[in-house]
Amino acid sequence: MNSKRIATALLTAATLVVPLAGQAQAATTKVEIVNQSSGRVITWGPSYVTAQPSDPSMKLRTWIKVDVAADQAIYKWAKNETLCLTGLPASNQMTVQTCNGGFRQLWATGFTGGTFRKFENVGTLRAATQKPFRNGDGTARTPVEQEVFIGENAQLWQVRAV
């Protein structure tokens, strides 16, 4: 009796795992993540996430989107696909870290219609937000940070295939 239950459990597990593995391989797209208010794209800088003008030919400004579930994906940096866009839990900072498939590397594009949507980190439950230009800390940049979503245009993004 126990061997029959074990065989049934193994067969059930195999039927669930095989389609998921195939889906993860097939559902990858090179994308830009574009802000509604500025038209700038999420870019990895030397030590921070920033917004730069769109240029699909630059790997620094593009990502490999790996679909995980409906409206949820992991974003690998096109220049180095071992690094993924990551939300940090203890700060507003976004960064790239070695891909591990964890919740802090999983991003949801919101459930509202329209071209531009909330781009929210599943692990921190905060949305990517383009901040005003900064030049006071020694680095001239337009940072992208994660904040509680309040519906501002600076928090609306389009994940666009390039």
Tokens 């020694």 correspond to: 138
Q: pLDDT (tens digit, 9 = 90+) per residue, 78-89?
A: 999 999 999 999
**Residue 143 host element (H or E):** none
- Find the length of the chain: 162
Tally of structural domains, the chain: 1
Range in 17-21, 70-74, 94-98, 147-151 the model is least confident about: 17-21
- Please state, for a pLDDT cut of 70, what percent of the chain lies above it: 76
Whether 110 has a pLDDT exceeding 70, the answer reads yes
Write 85-91 long-range contacts (CB < 8 A, 24+). Answer: 85/42, 85/44, 85/49, 87/121, 87/123, 87/124, 87/126, 87/146, 88/124, 88/146, 89/123, 89/124
Per-residue pLDDT of 9-65, as tens digits, reads: 333 333 333 334 444 454 799 999 999 998 999 998 767 788 888 887 888 889 999
Contact 94/115 with Cβ under 8 angstroms?
no
- Whether 112 maps to a domain, the answer reads yes
31/8 Cα distance (integer angstroms): 41
Is 3 within the bounds of a domain? no
Residue 92 in any domain: the answer is: yes
What local confidence, expressed as pLDDT, does residue 14 receive?
38
pTM for the full predicted model: 0.79
Q: Please give the residue that has the higher pLDDT: either 21 or 107.
A: 107
HSE on the CB side for 78, CA within 13 Å? Answer: 21
Please give the pLDDT value at position 59.
83
* Structural domain range at position 76: 27-161
Give the CATH number, domain containing residue 143. Answer: 2.80.10.50
Helix, coil or strand: residue 14 = helix
Which distant-in-sequence residues (6+ apart) come within 8 Å of 15 by Cβ? none
DSSP class of 155: G
Confidence of residue 1 (pLDDT cuts 50, 70, 90): very low
Domain assignment present for residue 1? The answer is no
Q: Could you tell me if residue 98 is inside a domain?
A: yes
The residue type of 149 is F
101 inside domain = yes
User: Is 4 inside any structural domain?
Assistant: no
- The predicted pLDDT at position 136 comes to 61
Within-domain flag for 10:
no
pLDDT of amino acid 122:
97
> Mean pLDDT for the chain?
81
